[in-house]
Amino acid sequence: MDFQKLYDFLRELNTGDNNDKSWMDVHRSEYVEVRDSYISFLEELNHIFRESDPNYQETTGKKAINRINNNKMFHPEKPTYKDNFGASLDKAENRSEFYIHLGINGSFVACGMYHVPNDKLKLIRQEIDYNGEELEAILTEPKFKKTFGGLWMRDTLKTSPKGYTGDHPRIEWLRLKSFVVQQDFTQEKVIKGNFKERLIELYELMLPFRRFLDMAVDESV
């Protein structure tokens, strides 16, 4: 797809006083062209991932893509429209997701579980406590570590979670409330850098981490 056109549309939408319904109504055809092109791109990925991963959850492009409207009811301070196109593939309840974020203020690919509900968070912490060496092996695998660095450390408790002491060898992970790894992209790399092929590589590289989380919260195992 034409990622340059996607970024150009988002940039124009978020210039001056353009971010409102009246501007969007006039430029609706441009938005639909960019959105539908992105949906088709997501459909391609959906097909590739479905063929390569037996555990993949079918996620159509329309289901994967996020709404461009901000939720003004809960966030009245935000503009009417977002400055990005976000999409989640391999999307299933109580499972980790593969997320693509293309925006004028940052583009990245991430996977994992964001703001984990307390009941699932308890299960992940138990798995780290019982089987943390497996997670450590995943995170320290050379290619994985070089690509992602480590876990996203922005969403964490200030104290130790109930049932765990501050001297636990993996206390930093146990304090997390989100379990995410991420790789950032410049707009130039998205536009010119074989982005689809890179997404396929990242999907496969992220799988062991995602499967660790999925097994942890699967109470049927």
The whole-number pLDDT of residue 105 equals 96
With a pLDDT cut of 70, the percent of the chain lying above it is 99
The whole-number pLDDT of residue 167 equals 87
List helix spans (H) across the chain: 3-13, 21-26, 28-52, 61-64, 118-140, 142-148, 171-174, 187-192, 195-217
What pLDDT, in 10s, does the model give residues 45-71?
999 999 999 999 999 999 999 999 998
Q: Is the pLDDT of residue 221 over 50?
A: no
Q: Rounded distance, CA 169 to CA 207, Å?
A: 25
Q: Is the pLDDT of residue 190 over 50?
A: yes
Q: Is the pLDDT of residue 209 over 80?
A: yes
DSSP secondary structure, 51-80, as one string = HH-TTPPP--HHHHBPPSB--TTT-TTS-S
What's the whole-number mean pLDDT along residues 77-90? Answer: 95
With a pLDDT cut of 90, the percent of the chain lying above it is 87
Structurally, how many domains does the chain consist of? 1
Taking all residues of the chain, what is their mean pLDDT, rounded to a whole number? 94
Find, among 129, 98, 130, the residue nearest to 112 by Cα: 98
Structural domain including 58 reads 3-217
In a 3-state reduction of DSSP, which class is residue 184? strand
Taking residue 41's Cβ as centre, other Cβ atoms within 10 Å add up to: 22
What pLDDT, in 10s, does the model give residues 117-173?
999 999 999 999 999 999 999 999 999 999 999 999 888 998 999 999 998 999 999
The whole-number pLDDT of residue 155 equals 85
C-alpha distances (whole Å) from 130 to each of 127, 136, 169 are 5, 12, 12
Q: Which CATH number belongs to the domain containing residue 146 in this structure?
A: 3.30.930
In the chain, the amino acid numbered 160 is S
C-alpha distances (whole Å) from 100 to each of 12, 40, 111, 139, 214 are 21, 14, 9, 21, 19
Strand pairing of 97-103 and 106-113?
A: antiparallel
Task: Place 219 in a pLDDT band, splitting at 50, 70 and 90.
Answer: low
Q: Is the pLDDT of residue 220 over 60?
A: no
Q: Is the pTM of this model over 0.85?
A: yes
